Structure 1
Amino acid sequence: MKMASHRENNIANYQIISILGHCFNQLAVVQLAKFIPTGAMVAIKKFDMDKIKEAYLVESEIILTRQLNHPNIIKYIVAFVSGPQVCVVSPLMAYGSCRDLLSRHFNEGLCEPAIILIIRDVLDALDYIHKKGYIHRAIRGSHILISDNGKACLAGLRYACPIVLNGKWQRSIHSFPSTTERNLNWLSPELLEQNLKGYNEKSDIYSIGIVVCELSNGIEPFAGMSKTLMLTEKVRGYAPSILDSTTIPRDENIESGGDCEISTNILNRRFSDDLHEITNLCLHREAYDRPTAGQLLTHPIFKNNKRLLPLPELLKPALPLSDRVGYDTV
Structure 2
Amino acid sequence: MQTIYDAKISDYKTISILGHCFDNKAMVHLAKHLPTAELVAIKKFNLDKIREDIELVESEIILTRQLSHPNIIPYITSFVAGPEVCVVSPLMAYGSCRDLLTRHFSEGLLEPAIILILKDVLSALIYIHKKGYIHRAIRASHILVSDTGQICLTGLRYACPIIKNGKWQRAIHSFPNSTEKNLNWLSPELLQQNLQGYSEKSDIYSIGMVICELANGSEPFAGMAKTLMLTEKVRGCTPQLLDRTTVPREETIECGGDTDISANVLDRRFGRDLHELVSLCFHWDVDMRPSASQLLSHSVFKAVKKAPPLPELLKPALPLSDRVGYDTEEMENFDALAKMSQLEIFSCEWDF
Alignment TM-score, normalising by the size of structure 1: 0.95
Q: Check conservation: 2:158, 2:177, Cα contact below 8 A.
A: no
Which residue in 2 is equivalent to 1:112?
Answer: 111
SS at structure 1 position matched to 2:321: helix
Q: Deviations over 1:226-253 (max 9, x none)?
A: 1111001101111000100000021177
Q: Deviations over 1:271-317 (max 9, x none)?
A: 00000000000011221121000000110111233201000000000
SS at structure 1 position matched to 2:45: strand
Paired residues for 1:8-157 under 5 Å: 8-52=6-50, 53-157=52-156
One-letter amino acid of the structure 2 residue matched with residue 44 of structure 1: I
1:325 aligns with 2:350: no
Aligned-partner Cα distance in 1 for 2:75–2:44: 13
Aligned-partner Cα distance in 1 for 2:127–2:252: 46
Which residue in 2 is equivalent to 1:267?
Answer: 266
Aligned-partner Cα distance in 2 for 1:221–1:186: 8
Q: Deviations over 1:129-154 (max 9, x none)?
A: 00000000000000000011001110
SS at structure 2 position matched to 1:69: coil
SS at structure 2 position matched to 1:304: helix
Aligned-partner Cα distance in 1 for 2:122–2:193: 25
SS at structure 2 position matched to 1:125: helix
Aligned-partner Cα distance in 1 for 2:117–2:304: 11
Aligned-partner Cα distance in 1 for 2:261–2:136: 31
Q: Deviations over 1:15-60 (max 9, x none)?
A: 1011111111100000000001110000000011111111000000
Structure 2: where are the runs of 5+ without partners?
A: 323-340
SS at structure 1 position matched to 2:270: coil
Which residue in 2 is equivalent to 1:207?
Answer: 206
SS at structure 2 position matched to 1:303: helix
Aligned-partner Cα distance in 1 for 2:27–2:98: 17
Q: Check conservation: 1:18, 1:328, Cα contact below 8 A.
A: no
Aligned-partner Cα distance in 2 for 1:187–1:286: 15
**CA 1:252–1:306: 2 relative to 1, 3 Å:** closer
CA positional deviation for 1:178:
2.0
Which residue in 2 is equivalent to 1:163?
Answer: 162
Aligned-partner Cα distance in 1 for 2:252–2:91: 45
Worse overlay, 293-302 or 281-290: 281-290
Structure 1: where are the runs of 5+ without partners?
A: none
SS at structure 1 position matched to 2:227: helix
Aligned-partner Cα distance in 2 for 1:291–1:306: 22
Aligned-partner Cα distance in 2 for 1:81–1:325: 34
Which residue in 2 is equivalent to 1:248?
Answer: 247
CA positional deviation for 1:9:
1.0
**CA 1:218–1:253: 2 relative to 1, 3 Å:** closer
SS at structure 2 position matched to 1:54: helix
One-letter amino acid of the structure 1 residue matched with residue 342 of structure 2: V
Q: How many residues align?
A: 323
Aligned-partner Cα distance in 2 for 1:141–1:79: 25
Worse overlay, 305-314 or 182-191: 305-314
Alignment TM-score, normalising by the size of structure 2: 0.89
